[in-house]
Amino acid sequence: MRNPWLALSALCACFFMVMLDSTIVTVAIPAILGDLDATLNQVVWVNSVYLLANTVPLLVTGRLGDRFGPKRVLVVGLLVFLGASLWCGLSTSAGSLIAARAVQGLGAALMTPQTLAFISGLFPVERRTAPIAVWGGVAGVATIAGPVIGGLLVEHVGWPAIFLVNLPIGLVGLVLAVVLLPDWRPSGRVRLDGVGAALAAGGLGLVVFGLQNGQHYRWGTIVGPVGVLPVIGVGLALVGGFVVWQRRPRPDPLVPPALAGVPDFGFANLVHAALGFATTGMFLPLVIYSQTVLGLDAVESAVLCLPMALAAGVAAVVASRAVAAVGAKTLIITGLGGLAVGTAALAVLAVPGADPDDLVPGLVVAGIGIGLVFSPLTATATAGLPPGLVGAGSGVFNTSRQVGGVLGSATTGLLLQVGLGVAVPNAAEEYARKLPPRYADEFVRRITEAADSASQFGGAGPDIPADWSPSVAEHVRGLATDAFHLGFTTAARATLVLPVVVLVLGIICAAGLRTPSPAARSGQGRGLPPEPVAP
């Protein structure tokens, strides 16, 4: 191809949409809760089902590109994604929106592995650093820009616009893909591992369903004799079965054993999972806190996240230029550390009466951390992939991030719901001491009930008995608001600790990367022939 950089523009447009939609919903949660009369658990599912549907098929869709050609699979995925985006924007119920997001995630799963496979085919190994840096920069900026763009759209247009905005971006990407991307044909027939795909899909789906809905079902019965913990147990057993199945010799497995021999591929995938977990897990409590507790509207919430997005963009550019001199491992560890420090700072600074500007330093540090990681990590993971493993390797690498993301969304949603169930009643009991004794028990009961519904997010608060005097009712509403703000902030701060812990584990995994020094790497490159480019 004469100018592979033009083709890269089409790939980046598609990948930008996929990553944008992994975080853009968070800023619209209060609006969706009120407009669709949804529960917090349902709206968390709007985000988690997208991540889940985007994650489970990735191992298969990476191989589909090897079988049918990456261009064909990418175009089909883009059409599915655009149709589902339109469905999301037209949804009038939480159930319809959740279903549409599942289809949207499937379209994203078809596209994502093909973007990285195309980069590996369009650029020889010695010229691959720059395009991978662009690809990784798009991932980092889109992830952080989701809440910013979402906030502007929610405030000025309405929450459906966060999905409809995909239509113009996607149509441009579709035209560019059809015109600019080469239509590579597979050299041989690739057989798909149906048993492995079923084990992975069933296992991950059941684990995520059990984790996210555990609090909703009070960790008891879901339907009939089926309980939450047995569902999680079966899911873990299926995941274990998938691992055992992949170790058995067979043609064209979803995770080829040869990937284990690629230097640093395993550690890079563990780091990718930790990064996906942390970036997804930090946004849910942060965005709801900024709008519900601090009283910011969607635009103000978006502006609050803007420094983080800008910092990520600048850091991504710096990382792409510094990787040759500093080394990928150093940048990855520094970035993960920055994201952990920034998230920990947000957990400390988040209090009911905080000035939003006080959160900006933590957001900037977190943004710098994210920007430093994506490009070097992608380059490290794909550096040793031979042409025959590009599709499978791309699918595994993207799956690791998505698995981390969907577990981050589900676990954070779980912890937030558990935290609300504990912290809000405790705060209500504290504020009930300011009321006459005859009102105290009713005050606590009603706030506890409101903590399980969407009413507190819309500012309505708990219902006030009709026989209470107007002056008492007004006083109670004020105390109820203060109690909920204190309870939610306590729950959100506790929830933000989990991404920090996962990032520390990610740093430990990054320390295991065996990337050579810049000097050794350049010398080694002169002694090896360039990797052949896909036909």
The per-residue pLDDT for range 366-386, each reduced to its tens digit, is: 999 998 998 889 888 877 777
Angle at 122 between CA 120 and CA 125, to 5 degrees: 50
| pLDDT confidence of residue 535 | 31
Distance of CA 455 to the CA centre of its chain: 26
Q: Which residues contact 475 (CB under 8 A, 6 or more apart)?
A: 435
Amino acid at 329: K
CA distance 297 to 229: 38
CA distance 78 to 110: 8
Amino acid at 397: F
The residue to which tokens 């079988």 are assigned: 67
Assigned token pair, 361: 């330093």
As beta bridge partners, residue 221 has 227
pLDDT: which is higher, 139 or 372: 372
Distance of CA 521 to the CA centre of its chain: 32
Going from N- to C-terminal start, the domains of the chain cover: 4-183+250-420+487-526, 194-249
H helical segments located in 23-160: 29-35, 40-55, 58-68, 70-90, 94-122, 129-156
CA distance 282 to 293: 16
The upper half-sphere exposure of residue 55, i.e. CA atoms within 13 Å in the direction of its Cβ, equals: 28
User: Is residue 222 helix, strand or coil?
Assistant: strand
Task: Tally the residues of the chain.
Answer: 535
Q: Nearest Cα to 319, choosing from 140, 72, 517?
A: 140
The residue to which tokens 């993960």 are assigned: 336
pLDDT: which is higher, 228 or 216: 228
Assigned token pair, 138: 């798009």
In which band, very low, low, confident or very high, does the pLDDT at 344 lie, cut at 50, 70 and 90? Answer: very high
CA distance 47 to 258: 34
Using H for helix, E for strand and C for coil, what is the string for 460-474?
A: CCCCCCCCCCHHHHH
3-state helix, strand, coil in the chain (%, to 5): 80, 0, 20
CA of 341: how far to CAs of 45, 267, 309, 314, 494, in Å? 28, 22, 17, 18, 15
Q: Is the pLDDT of residue 402 over 80?
A: no
Average pLDDT value for the chain: 82
Q: Is the pLDDT of residue 532 over 50?
A: no
Assigned token pair, 481: 């608001």
CA distance 500 to 264: 23
CB atoms within 10 A of CB 471: 8
CATH topology of domain 4-183+250-420+487-526: Growth Hormone; Chain: A; (1.20.1250)
In which band, very low, low, confident or very high, does the pLDDT at 128 lie, cut at 50, 70 and 90? Answer: confident
| pLDDT confidence of residue 187 | 62
Q: Is the pLDDT of residue 346 over 90?
A: yes
| pLDDT confidence of residue 333 | 96
The per-residue pLDDT for range 152-210, each reduced to its tens digit, is: 888 889 999 999 999 998 998 899 889 888 888 766 666 778 888 889 888 888 887 88
